[in-house]
């Protein structure tokens, strides 16, 4: 394979590509919240369908026609309660759910007119007051004298803990990081969860009481599964995923500025001052999922001049939804499909570009090998399960993820699991919440019957 080489330029990576005011605008809320009047008008577009397809499409089964009817009747608090009954993280899900492929795609108004009821925005409207108050609308159940160990303070673990608290079961959450919230705190694009929303939602959930969080405690490093099984009445594993996948190309770990997108997004989410974050002039992202879209869009918002996403297959196979792809493209991101990375190039120890092969079956032979030069390469090609953290426990896994039944019971007695660490999960906040809720109900039934 040969390709003509241009002399590589020195990497152009520096902080402060944009001033603070511009960055503030760029990272403002993606969608402004609905006013009370807008919410009522939108709610009245709903047909309040019987056997509503939107509800069936919701992984947590929220009674969508009921909460929309409550908004239409001016009962915002009741609407919020209807949502929280099924999904205690309904506030975050209203912001980050791919509604265009879930409830809104199923809405009969989408099917008939191509214009669904904006369920996500109505859900945000309904849940906002309770989160603002910072108080769970549920009372903690009478203490039953049982204690559950939960691994991971992400959506699955928090939903599990809250549901257990309602049942009167205490929980202790072991969280590897310093902050609770999981991907909501460290992983989701900043413009989807402004104003420290993830942290405020955690406080809202913890306000029910009976939930202790121990930070800096990782499974397999600081706590062992067999100790948790011995010391607690049950264990719920909601630890998310382990390390990120590598491209498997030479020089990947040696070259400077080949960066794991997950790490950079976490740094961005925790940055107090975005002007201090180093940003490449030309950014290349390899991947086709939500993380790839998030890093690409955010790089553009941080002031990168050019951002290219390279994906080895076509748009049909891409995990990112058409809505997300459109968001990337309207933000100025160029998406190159059928681009299979073949070699990383560097100059003076720093990354300078990637040679790709056109992976399309009907590809134009003259364009079969091409190079994209860039200052930074973000890899976003998925994460692996972390079976090593299970410490040799005899728990059934598949493709590195824990196998569970429909009640989220793992193969090991007294152990339940949910969220991204289980096999067959959808890698969505809403699915993790459902897992946590179902597991808690199963745990409570097992411990309290
Ligand atoms: Fe309302 Fe659409 Fe759901 Fe029907 S499918 S209940 S119109 S939101």
Position 417 scores a pLDDT of 97
Whether residue 119 has its Cβ less than 6 Å from ligand 1: yes
Higher pLDDT, residue 388 or 225: 225
pLDDT digits (tens, 9 = 90+) for 126-168: 999 999 999 999 999 999 999 999 999 999 999 999 999 999 9
Position 5 scores a pLDDT of 44
pLDDT digits (tens, 9 = 90+) for 59-98: 999 999 999 999 999 999 999 999 999 999 999 999 999 8
pLDDT digits (tens, 9 = 90+) for 166-220: 999 999 999 999 999 999 999 988 888 888 999 999 999 999 999 999 999 999 9
Across the range 347-365, mean pLDDT stands at 85
Whether residue 107 has its Cβ less than 6 Å from ligand 1: yes
pLDDT digits (tens, 9 = 90+) for 107-126: 999 999 999 999 999 999 99
Structural domain boundaries of the chain? 36-133, 147-242+386-448, 245-379
pLDDT digits (tens, 9 = 90+) for 274-308: 999 999 999 999 999 989 999 999 999 999 999 99
Position 4 scores a pLDDT of 42
Position 384 scores a pLDDT of 80
Distances (CA, A) of 388 to 87, 152, 230, 310: 31, 16, 20, 31
pLDDT digits (tens, 9 = 90+) for 397-448: 998 899 999 999 999 999 999 999 999 877 899 999 999 999 999 999 999 9
Position 274 scores a pLDDT of 94
State which fold the 36-133 domain adopts. Fumarate Reductase Iron-sulfur Protein; Chain B, domain 2 (1.10.1060)
Query: Cβ distance 242 to 384 under 8 Å?
Result: yes
Q: Is it the case that residue 363 has pLDDT exceeding 70?
A: no
Q: What mean pLDDT value characterizes the chain?
A: 93
What is the share, in percent, of the chain residues with pLDDT greater than 70? 96
Position 3 scores a pLDDT of 39
State which fold the 147-242+386-448 domain adopts. FAD/NAD(P)-binding domain (3.50.50)
CATH of 245-379, one of 3.50.50.60, 3.90.1310.10, 1.10.10.410, 3.30.2020.30: 3.50.50.60
Choice from 47, 82, 110 to test ligand 1 binding pocket (greatest atom count within 8 A of CB): 47
Q: How confident is the model at residue 1 (pLDDT cuts 50, 70, 90)?
A: very low
Q: How confident is the model at residue 9 (pLDDT cuts 50, 70, 90)?
A: low
Whether residue 196 has its Cβ less than 6 Å from ligand 1: no
Position 392 scores a pLDDT of 72
Query: Cβ distance 423 to 79 under 8 Å?
Result: no
Higher pLDDT, residue 384 or 444: 444
Kindly report the pTM of this predicted structure: 0.92
Whether residue 215 has its Cβ less than 6 Å from ligand 1: no
Atom of ligand 1 nearest to the CA of 117: 8
Position 190 scores a pLDDT of 87
Residue 48 CA to ligand 1 centre (angstroms): 6
Position 382 scores a pLDDT of 87
Q: Given this chain, do its domains 147-242+386-448 and 245-379 carry the same CATH topology?
A: yes
Hey, whose CA ends up nearest to atom 1 of ligand 1? 46
Q: How confident is the model at residue 367 (pLDDT cuts 50, 70, 90)?
A: low
Hey, whose CA ends up nearest to atom 3 of ligand 1? 54
Residue 79 CA to ligand 1 centre (angstroms): 15
Distances (CA, A) of 321 to 275, 316, 340: 30, 9, 21
Position 241 scores a pLDDT of 86
């Amino acid at each position: 394979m040969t390709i003509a080489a241009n002399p590589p330029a020195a990497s152009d990576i520096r902080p402060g590509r944009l001033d603070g005011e511009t960055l503030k605008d760029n990272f403002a809320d993606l969608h402004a919240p609905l006013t009370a009047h807008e919410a009522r008008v939108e709610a009245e577009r709903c047909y309040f369908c019987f056997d509503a397809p939107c509800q069936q499409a919701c992984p947590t089964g929220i009674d969508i026609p009921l909460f929309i009817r409550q908004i239409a009747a001016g009962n915002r608090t009741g609407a919020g309660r209807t949502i929280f009954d099924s999904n205690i993280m309904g506030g975050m899900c209203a912001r980050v759910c791919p509604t265009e492929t879930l409830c809104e795609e199923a809405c009969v108004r989408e099917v008939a007119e191509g214009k669904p009821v904006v369920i996500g925005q109505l859900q945000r409207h309904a849940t906002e007051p309770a989160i603002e108050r910072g108080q769970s609308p549920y009372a903690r159940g009478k203490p039953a004298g049982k204690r559950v160990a939960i691994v991971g303070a992400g959506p699955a673990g928090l939903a599990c803990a809250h549901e257990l608290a309602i049942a009167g079961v205490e929980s202790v959450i072991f969280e590897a990081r310093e902050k609770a919230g999981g991907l909501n705190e460290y992983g989701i694009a900043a413009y989807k969860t402004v104003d420290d929303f993830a942290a405020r939602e955690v406080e809202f959930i913890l306000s029910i009481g009976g939930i202790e969080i121990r930070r800096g405690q990782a499974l397999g490093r600081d706590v062992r599964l067999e100790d948790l099984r011995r010391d607690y009445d049950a264990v719920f594993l909601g630890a998310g995923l382990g390390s990120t996948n590598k491209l498997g190309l030479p020089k990947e770990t040696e070259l400077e500025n080949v960066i794991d997108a997950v790490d950079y997004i976490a740094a961005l989410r925790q940055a107090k001052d975005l002007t201090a974050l180093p940003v490449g002039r030309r950014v290349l992202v390899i991947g086709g999922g939500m993380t790839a879209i998030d890093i690409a869009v955010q790089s553009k918002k941080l002031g990168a001049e050019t951002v290219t996403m390279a994906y080895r297959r076509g748009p049909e196979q891409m995990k990112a939804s058409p809505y997300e792809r459109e968001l990337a493209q309207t933000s100025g991101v160029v998406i190159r499909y059928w681009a299979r990375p073949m070699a990383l190039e560097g100059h003076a120890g720093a990354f300078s570009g990637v040679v790709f092969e056109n992976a399309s079956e009907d590809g134009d032979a003259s364009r079969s090998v091409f190079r994209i030069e860039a200052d930074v390469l973000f890899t976003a090609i998925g994460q692996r399960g972390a079976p090593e953290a299970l410490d040799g426990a005899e728990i059934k896994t598949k493709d590195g993820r824990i196998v569970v039944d429909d009640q989220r019971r793992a193969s090991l007695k007294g152990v339940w699991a949910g969220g991204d660490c289980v096999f067959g999960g959808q890698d969505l906040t809403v699915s993790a919440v459902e897992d946590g809720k179902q597991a808690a109900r199963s745990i409570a039934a097992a411990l309290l019957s």
